[in-house]
Amino acid sequence: MDTTIYYFSGTGNSFFIARELKNLLSNTELVPIVKAIKENNFVTKAENIGFVFPTHGLTIPIPVKIFLKKMNVTNSHYFFAVATRGGTIFRGFPVINNVLKKYNKCLNAGFIIDMASNDPKLASYHDATKEKLDSLRIYALNKIKLIQKVIINKENYHNDDKTGITFSKNILLNLLLSRLIPFMTHFISPMVKKYFYADSKCTGCGTCEKVCLSEKIKMNGKKPVWQKNVTCYLCYSCLNYCPFKAIQIYSKIWMKSFTTERGRYLHPYAKSGEIAQQKSK
């Protein structure tokens, strides 16, 4: 195998990118990061290694961090990463590069792809129109062609992140938030005991348990229960794949949640089975 693409995806955006890339590159395999963690499979074998994942709290998602911490890349020589995002700045490439430095290697190429947001808790979340989704898809497909070219030629490439939304015109406040938000995502959010709940619209169908990538959700009869001792990957698959929009996020002191008022998002080409298969042995 020339290339292995390790991917993580909550609602299909990153899965779509990883799959399209695989189709464009020869001799390439896709490995779900969730499955690799479950199987304790951290030794890379291919010459080229890619990581494709969503932006979570301006940085890499929790399972990607877990994978990076344990991986052994002695056998591999060219590395690229693709972060999909809803639109803010992305601060995760140095995190990946620092891990690779331990092996005297580096992140050769980093790409950012703007896609629809799957985070309806935010006040700024708007259901994307069909026109918006179509234009994002064309933009993504063009970006994938650029990524294909860079990888085939083993070029060094670093995405210009000038388009990412920052938080305020105040440079100091931006600097503070761009440090604080990744910290909240990796350290504070996993500690929050009551993050999700199912409201009265829940029918007990079990879809949330099926797609839950950290296996935090277990059905207790007709009721989903978020297990206290399991770390949530914050993939939001449960929230977005629930057919009845019954899953909500509690408001916190530091952030009001708008999930009861907002819609949900799924990539049109990702069925719940494709999300769930990331954890299949």
Ligand X SMILES: Cc1cc2nc3c(=O)[nH]c(=O)nc-3n(C[C@H](O)[C@H](O)[C@H](O)COP(=O)(O)O)c2cc1C
Select from 224, 249, 266, 270 the one that contacts ligand SF4 (CB under 6 A): 224
159 binds, among ligand X, ligand SF4, none (CB under 5 to 8 A by kind): none
Q: Which of residues 191-220 bind ligand SF4 (CB under 6 A)?
A: 198, 202-208, 211-214, 216-217
Is 18 a residue that touches ligand X (CB under 6 A)? no
Q: Select from ligand SF4, ligand X, none the partner in contact with residue 86, using the beta carbon and a kind-dependent cut-off of 5 to 8 Å.
A: ligand X
Pick what 6 binds: ligand SF4, ligand X, none; C-beta below 5 to 8 Å, kind-dependent: none
CB of 238 to ligand SF4, least distance (A): 3
Give the footprint of ligand SF4 on residues 247-266 (CB under 6 A). Answer: 247
Select from ligand X, ligand SF4, none the partner in contact with residue 247, using the beta carbon and a kind-dependent cut-off of 5 to 8 Å: ligand SF4
User: Binding residues for ligand SF4, how many (CB under 6 A)?
Assistant: 27
Decide: is 246 part of the binding site for ligand SF4 (CB under 6 A): yes
Binding residue for ligand X (CB under 6 A) from 3, 4, 9, 207? Answer: 9
- 86 makes contact with ligand X (CB under 6 A): yes
DSSP letters, the chain, are: --EEEEE--SSSHHHHHHHHHHHHSSSEEEEEHHHHHHTT--B--SSEEEEEEE-BTTB--HHHHHHHHH-B-TT--EEEEEEEESSB----HHHHHHHHHTTT----EEEEEE-----TTSTT--PPPHHHHHHHHHHHHHHHHHHHHHHHTT--EE--GGGSB-S-S-HHHHHHHHHHHHHIIIIIGGG-S--EEE-TT-----HHHHH-TT--EEEETTEEEE-TTS------HHHHH-TT--EEE--BTTB---TTTS-----TT--HHHHHGGG--
CA separation, residue 82 to residues 108, 242, 260 (Å): 12, 27, 31
x/- letters, 226..245, toward ligand SF4 (CB under 6 A): x-----xxxxxxx---x-x-
Q: State the residue for tokens 């479950």.
A: 38
- Find the shortest distance in angstroms from Cβ 259 to ligand SF4: 12
> Is 84 one of the binding residues for ligand X (CB under 6 A)?
yes
Interface mask toward ligand X for 112-151; x: CB under 6 A: ---x-xxx--------------------------------
CB 263 within 8 A of CB 133: no
- Answer for which of 3, 88, 159, 259 binds ligand X (CB under 6 A) is 88
According to CB under 6 A, which one of 32, 57, 63, 92 is a site residue for ligand X? 57
The residues that touch ligand X, with contacts defined as CB under 6 A, are 9-15, 54-58, 84-88, 115, 117-119, 234-236, 267
The residues that touch ligand SF4, with contacts defined as CB under 6 A, are 198, 202-208, 211-214, 216-217, 224, 226, 232-238, 242, 244, 246-247
